[in-house]
């Protein structure tokens, strides 16, 4: 089983070398694909340097910061043109523990087509979050699942595994989300296409130690507005032509 791990980056100079080595240690035979949006801090250059040392790392240099959804689409296009069987997506800041990846692969081996790393099932959690942030995240995920009729507890996590077959069947390259809503759109597509083999695996989410988070109130508002628009279209038919297909 050939595995490719996709890691989008923007200004992750403090983390990129360590995360690549940690992923290599967790899944020694995996291919690693860094998608860097021309980070001003030199993340892309450092990724190239680490790639020469540990091998089987490809760095996709994009011209600028164009959104997480576009980064993933560019990455999936490269990967799906090859012979990869399983695709892992994760963040570069160690909020996603690379040591969890073998559990994702085990779930794939057991028949799952999509594996979601979940903070909101038994044994999953977010460490050292203030109460207001935890409540906001839980509410946002419950709202998203309700509005879009998604039977997943953590709709916004970026720590996931997919079979290449499932991504081709869903038409991941035809998704429309530019930013973080891409995570939700994939699960929405899976739900609308009645994918049965979607599994959640508990993860421990850690806040980053180095660098600055890309999440902000504007991103959250944009995602919730998109979810609301999709949910209204799904339930009433108004604007249905704009739903992901």
Q: pLDDT (tens digit, 9 = 90+) per residue, 150-198?
A: 999 999 999 999 999 999 999 999 898 888 889 999 999 999 888 889 9
Span 23-44, pLDDT tens digits:
999 999 999 999 999 999 999 9
Containing structural domain, residue 70: 3-242
Tracing tokens 């069987």 back to the chain, one arrives at 85
Stretch 146-151: mean pLDDT: 94
Stretch 199-227: mean pLDDT: 79
Tell me how far apart the alpha carbons of residues 27 and 4 are, in angstroms, rounded to a whole number. 10
Tell me how far apart the alpha carbons of residues 211 and 11 are, in angstroms, rounded to a whole number. 7
At residue 47, does pLDDT exceed 90?
Answer: yes
Domains held by the chain: number: 1
Residue 141 pLDDT class (50, 70, 90 cuts): very high
Check which CATH number belongs to the domain holding 210 and give it: 3.90.550.10
Residue 213 pLDDT class (50, 70, 90 cuts): low
Tell me how far apart the alpha carbons of residues 183 and 114 are, in angstroms, rounded to a whole number. 12
Q: pTM value? A: 0.93
Q: What is the mean pLDDT of the chain?
A: 92
More confident position, 8 or 212: 8
The pLDDT value recorded for residue 217 is: 63
Tracing tokens 């946002």 back to the chain, one arrives at 140
Tell me how far apart the alpha carbons of residues 187 and 151 are, in angstroms, rounded to a whole number. 9
The pLDDT value recorded for residue 214 is: 59
């Amino acid at each position: 089983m050939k595995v490719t791990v996709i890691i989008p980056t923007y200004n992750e100079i403090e983390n990129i070398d360590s995360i690549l080595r940690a992923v290599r240690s967790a899944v020694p035979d995996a291919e690693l694909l860094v998608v860097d949006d021309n980070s001003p801090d030199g993340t892309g250059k450092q990724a190239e340097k680490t790639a020469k040392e540990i091998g089987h790392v490809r760095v996709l240099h994009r011209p600028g910061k164009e959104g997480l959804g576009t980064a993933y689409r560019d990455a999936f296009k490269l990967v799906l043109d090859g012979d990869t069987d399983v695709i892992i997506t994760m963040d570069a800041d160690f909020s996603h523990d690379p040591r969890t990846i073998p559990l994702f692969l085990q779930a794939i081996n057991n028949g799952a087509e999509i594996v979601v790393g979940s903070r909101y099932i038994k044994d999953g959690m977010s460490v050292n979050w203030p109460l207001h942030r935890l409540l906001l995240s839980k509410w946002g995920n419950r709202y998203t699942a309700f509005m879009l009729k998604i039977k997943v507890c953590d709709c916004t996590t970026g720590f996931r595994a997919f079979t290449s077959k499932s991504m081709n069947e869903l038409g991941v390259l035809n998704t429309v989300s530019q930013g973080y809503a891409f995570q939700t759109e994939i699960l929405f597509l899976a739900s609308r296409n009645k994918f049965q083999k979607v599994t959640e695996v508990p993860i421990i989410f850690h806040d980053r130690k180095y660098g600055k988070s890309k999440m902000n109130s504007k991103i959250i508002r944009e995602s919730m507005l998109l979810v609301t628009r999709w949910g209204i279209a799904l339930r009433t038919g108004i604007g249905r032509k704009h739903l992901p297909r």
